[in-house]
Structure 1
Amino acid sequence: MRQDFRLQDPGEGIHEVEVQDILVKPGDAVEDGDTAFVVESDKAAIELPSPYHGTVVDIPVKVGDIVRVGDVLMTVETDEKAVSSKGETAPDAPSIKQENEAGPSAQKGGDAPAHTGPIKAAPTARRLAKERHISLADIRPTGSKGHITRADVEAYEKGTQIKAGQGSITASPLPDFSQFGPVRRTALQSIRKATARHMAKAWAEIPHVMLEERIDLTGLERRRKLHAMALAEKGGPPLTLLPFVVKAVTIALKQHPRFNASLDMVREEIVEKDYIHMGIAMDSDRGLLVPVLRDADRLGIVELAAALKELSERVRAGKAGPADLKGGTFSITNMGALGGTGFFPIINYPESAILGMGRGKIEPVIIGDLDHYHVEARFIVPFSLSFDHRLNDGADAARFLSTVRSVLTDPDAMALTM
């Protein structure tokens, strides 16, 4: 009999994915568990195994297509009733239930509900709303089919979503550019859409303040080159400035823990974390990703270099999964290899700060005082700290950057962390 392999609900509010690769074709024999598709959500690349054993009859999608939960990916001719990998009869697709679910209400005030009929919600959204005692009737849906997503529930809980019945904030329409000349429109890829939403949310919710510091790393750069040569001879990982900066930041975060914290405006509490998971912004063919280096404070410089190399390779190969992109407490973004004299990055919500690192270059620096001075060529690297002014003040940020500078310019401190 013929069985349709439909896109299952990946969870976490994901309701659509982009087809990146198709590993089978009509006429191919497939086994239950064989990877048939690689798709990309707004969070990560996901491999989809076939739930059926048989022969591929039809594949109605192609690379680049956007498919939604419940859409058919391929049809398989099986010899018997298809059984899922868990030994249960495989469903056609996870349905988006349409029922009126009141549940324990978390309504605030007498706002009019936005739903006049059955409430459509993803299964993960329903589960989360039930766990958090939130009424789905209060939530404004943003799903592509008019349904409530898990992200909608999370946004409502955090107080960032406008309540149903109060209207919504929408993007301003653009003018018709075609009246001025030829135009082309290209659909946003999943990662770019996620980045756009995430950056807009961070900029809208967090009052950013930026502080810049130019640090003389002449001594560190000389030592780095020596260690890099020795490490290369032993077949070790490449030793750039980034591992040293990561180590200095972990030391600063321990001395200034509010920069490792998050602000919970719903409960009006500061969440201070007793762990340091460093997000490292990386460019990729898929767009901007921020994989997380866990327990970065427990690693030495060489271990950090090896871990950063492994993370970079996973990102370039498209193998960075959802687990690699979660749980960061502070982020670093290094533009030094690409150019630019300096920049001010946007905080990676829900973190409270991010450190930007620009391109280092040799500059003439005056050494001494007004009466006795001379000029030297020094290696100067620009750093920029963006921080949440609700959690930290300018003086706190100055002290944080001062600690980073002290560690980076202290040869003994750096030597002890190798």
Structure 2
Amino acid sequence: MNILKDKADCLIMDNFEKKINFNMRKKTIASVTQEGWQEIPHVSYIYEADATKFYEEFRKLKASGRYKRDISFNTLLLRVIVEGIKAAPQLNAEIRYNTFLISGRVTIKEKININMPVLLPGGEMMTVNLRDMGGKSLEAMTEQIEGIKEIIKNCDMERSLLKVGLKDSLRKLHQGKVIEVAGRGLGMVIGHRKTEEGSSVKKNGSLLDREALDQGTITVSNLGAAVKGTKGRIGLLDIIPPQVCAIGIGVLQEESRVYLVEERETRVGIRKVIPFTIAFDHRALDFGEVAPFINRLEAVFNNPAVIRNW
């Protein structure tokens, strides 16, 4: 009797299936991530930073009233990553590789244009391009991030992505990728009006320009900004072609650790720890190129007074 009842319940639940068509945001994510996993041999390393002294320095900086804008801890961490990229410029690059000929080329980019996922009004994620982060002060970085977040509140993300996608398709067509462009064009036409129910993305709002949605030179994802009050580490990240590296910032958490007090003296205590995940394309990079990035971050966290000059 119970078995029949359980089966009946299953049949009833089947009648309540909910099918959700991909909107332009999900189509974009699906396309670039699938391409990345098909082409790129991913390697992932987790660096755990003792950020105790760094966090104390941040609080002093906030209390000093030095900046006109409210500098967030997440923006400060983004600036730390920029410092690491400057020390390891090979991470800020793109790769061109021919599998048949086993030949490739890595081009190191001068400007650090960071692709960063941000929260849309309804809780969805969308990646935007923070341009020239290597040439900006901490306050200028804050201004750019706040500006993009403000625009997103009133933008029509579907139309923005469609506009950028059409331009990108023309670029791929120029490269001779006819079949790929044909499939992409068909996908844009079929069902592009069918979006998720309850989506808070505004219709007929402002459009984000290509610069805000275009491909950057490296991707940085901040898990700590999305899931506050939890513990966790990012195990692996998507690398978006032709980028060669993606960096994930984990949640700031307190842990019991052995730490160095003086040159040869250690103690056990509660420390603030931030896990950073570095995923890289093994065709373009190995740990020799990644090590300077980690070493620079370690230097900043051990001597956080340097942030006063940012």
Could you say whether these structures have the same fold, taking a TM-score greater than 0.5 normalized by the shorter chain as the test?
A: yes
Matches within 5 A, 1:11-410: 181-182=14-15, 183-231=17-65, 236-266=68-98, 268-284=104-120, 285=122, 287-318=124-155, 319=206, 320-337=208-225, 338=227, 339-343=230-234, 344-368=236-260, 373-410=266-303
- Aligned-residue offset at 1:252: 2.3
- Aligned-residue offset at 1:374: 2.4
- Aligned-residue offset at 1:245: 2.4
Matches within 5 A, 1:2-17: none
Determine if contact 1:355/1:386 at 8 Å carries over to the other structure: yes
Summarize deviations over 1:164-199 as a string: whole Å, max 9, x none: xxxxxxxxxxxxx98982322121111011111111
Partners of 1:230 and 1:316 lie apart in 2 by 31
Shift in CA distance, 272/373, structure 1 to aligned 2, threshold 3 Å: closer
Partners of 1:367 and 1:416 lie apart in 2 by 26
Q: Which has the higher helix share?
A: 2
Partners of 1:372 and 1:213 lie apart in 2 by 23
Partners of 2:299 and 2:11 lie apart in 1 by 55
3-state secondary structure, aligned to 1:290 = strand
3-state secondary structure, aligned to 2:111 = coil
Partner of 2:190: none
Q: Where does structure 1 differ by over 4 angstroms across 4 or more consecutive aligned residues?
A: 177-180
3-state secondary structure, aligned to 2:307 = helix
Shift in CA distance, 268/239, structure 1 to aligned 2, threshold 3 Å: same
Shift in CA distance, 238/203, structure 1 to aligned 2, threshold 3 Å: farther
Shift in CA distance, 237/368, structure 1 to aligned 2, threshold 3 Å: closer
Alignment size in residue pairs: 238
More relative contact order in 1 or in 2 (CA 8 Å, sep 6+)? Answer: 2
Partners of 2:24 and 2:11 lie apart in 1 by 26
Partners of 1:184 and 1:352 lie apart in 2 by 37
Partners of 1:220 and 1:304 lie apart in 2 by 19
Determine if contact 1:192/1:287 at 8 Å carries over to the other structure: no
- Aligned-residue offset at 1:386: 0.7
Partners of 1:348 and 1:367 lie apart in 2 by 36
- Aligned-residue offset at 1:368: 4.5
- Aligned-residue offset at 1:383: 0.7
- Aligned-residue offset at 1:286: 7.9
- Aligned-residue offset at 1:321: 3.1
Shift in CA distance, 268/395, structure 1 to aligned 2, threshold 3 Å: closer
Determine if contact 1:292/1:326 at 8 Å carries over to the other structure: yes
Partners of 2:111 and 2:211 lie apart in 1 by 17
Partners of 1:301 and 1:214 lie apart in 2 by 23
3-state secondary structure, aligned to 1:187 = coil
Determine if contact 2:84/2:293 at 8 Å carries over to the other structure: yes
- Aligned-residue offset at 1:327: 4.0
Partners of 1:313 and 1:378 lie apart in 2 by 35
Summarize deviations over 1:208-237 as a string: whole Å, max 9, x none: 100001101111211212322444x97x33
Determine if contact 2:53/2:301 at 8 Å carries over to the other structure: no
3-state secondary structure, aligned to 2:14 = coil
Partner of 2:186: none
Note if 1:413 corresponds to 2:306: yes
Amino acid at match of 2:44: M
- Aligned-residue offset at 1:393: 0.7
Partners of 2:285 and 2:79 lie apart in 1 by 22
Determine if contact 2:231/2:253 at 8 Å carries over to the other structure: no
3-state secondary structure, aligned to 1:403 = helix
Percent identity between the aligned chains? 18
Partner of 1:23: none
Amino acid at match of 2:130: L
Larger Rg, first or second structure (1 or 2): 1
- Structure 2 unaligned runs (5+)? 1-9, 156-205
Summarize deviations over 1:273-321 as a string: whole Å, max 9, x none: 1111122221223843221121111111222222222222222332533
Shift in CA distance, 373/275, structure 1 to aligned 2, threshold 3 Å: closer
- Aligned-residue offset at 1:244: 2.3
- Aligned-residue offset at 1:238: 2.8
3-state secondary structure, aligned to 2:47 = strand
TM (normalized to structure 2)? 0.69
TM (normalized to structure 1)? 0.52
Summarize deviations over 1:47-74 as a string: whole Å, max 9, x none: xxxxxxxxxxxxxxxxxxxxxxxxxxxx
